[in-house]
Amino acid sequence: MYYSREYQQEDTIITINGERIGDGNPHFIMGPCAVESYDQTSIVAEKMAQQGVRLLRGGAFKPRTSPYDFQGLGVEGLQILSRVAREQGMAVITEILSVDQLDEALPYVDVVQIGSRNMHHFPLLKALGKTNKPILLKRGLSATIEEFKLAAEYILAEGNKNVILCERGIRTYETATRNTLDISAVPILKQETHLPVIVDVTHSAGRKDILTAMAKAALAVGADGVMAEVHPNPAKALSDSKQQMNLYEFDCFMDAIRKVIR
């Protein structure tokens, strides 16, 4: 398998906007759940820039559980993201949901996110495998580690070797969190693959009071970085309003993490 340590012993390092993901240092991917407006996105990005975070996430095509919920701004959202990223010197990480969105979306995107619900979307994985864009592949809601690795293999086998794995919690019987962060997946993936591993604390927790602790745990077990969501006014957010940090909480989060990684 292309993902395996047998195929490649040394860690894959993927350089995005000067950040070398997989180099042993922690990297941070932050931003709103969804792009809602230029102001909303740029307020978050400005705060991120103050904290030295240079990888901007934000959804323009949103895979919502209900078809009646906000579905994202589409291409207009991508335009906002890329404008804000340019202004703040950041790279854009955003989800693409289907093969037919690729042509219009790719020019705006530095890293393509494949969301949890699409981890098994093999035609999308194959199509992205034919590009040279870095891919952030999220673990499926109910995918085993083996299935997760094989989803990555779909991309690698087509020739795109720039795959970042993202553990984002799995579905269990536990209801105290939205998903259960499978912390053991991190060292297992680091052992069995050479790919960088990021932990998304926001979508695993589904609540924001434990994000700092989860991020510390992720880095302690060897994650190459952390993803989390930030919104200027989470209570008014059009998606994931319960779990996005506000700007003050984001500052506290980054300050607390920096203390343990120094």
Site map (CB under 6 A) of ligand PEP, residues 152-181, x = contact: ----------------x-------------
User: Residues 253, 218: contact at Cβ < 8 Å?
Assistant: no
Which of ligand PEP, Mn ion, none sits in contact with 222, Cβ below 5 to 8 A by type?
none
Residue with tokens 């978050």: 44
Q: What is the CA radius of gyration of the chain?
A: 17
Of 55, 16, 57, 52, nearest to 35 by C-alpha is 57
- CA distance linking residue 24 with residue 190, whole number of Å: 11
- CA distance linking residue 254 with residue 262, whole number of Å: 12
Which of Mn ion, ligand PEP, none sits in contact with 27, Cβ below 5 to 8 A by type?
none
Q: Which is nearer to ligand PEP, 237 or 247 (CB)?
A: 237
Assess 129 for contact with ligand PEP (CB under 6 A): no
Assess 59 for contact with ligand PEP (CB under 6 A): yes
Strand ranges, E, within 73-180: 91-95, 111-114, 135-138, 163-167
Residue nearest to ligand PEP (CB): 115
Assess 116 for contact with ligand PEP (CB under 6 A): yes
Assess 240 for contact with Mn ion (CB under 5 A): yes
Q: Which is nearer to ligand PEP, 22 or 140 (CB)?
A: 140
Q: Between the CA of residue 61 and those of 43, 101, 169, 218, 239, what are the distances in Å?
A: 20, 9, 21, 27, 12
Which of ligand PEP, Mn ion, none sits in contact with 116, Cβ below 5 to 8 A by type?
ligand PEP
**Six-digit token pair at 40?**
């909303």
DSSP 208: S
Site for Mn ion in 27-66 (CB under 5 A): 33
Q: Which residues bind ligand PEP (CB under 6 A)?
A: 33, 59, 63, 95, 115-117, 138, 168, 200, 203
Q: Which residues bind Mn ion (CB under 5 A)?
A: 33, 240
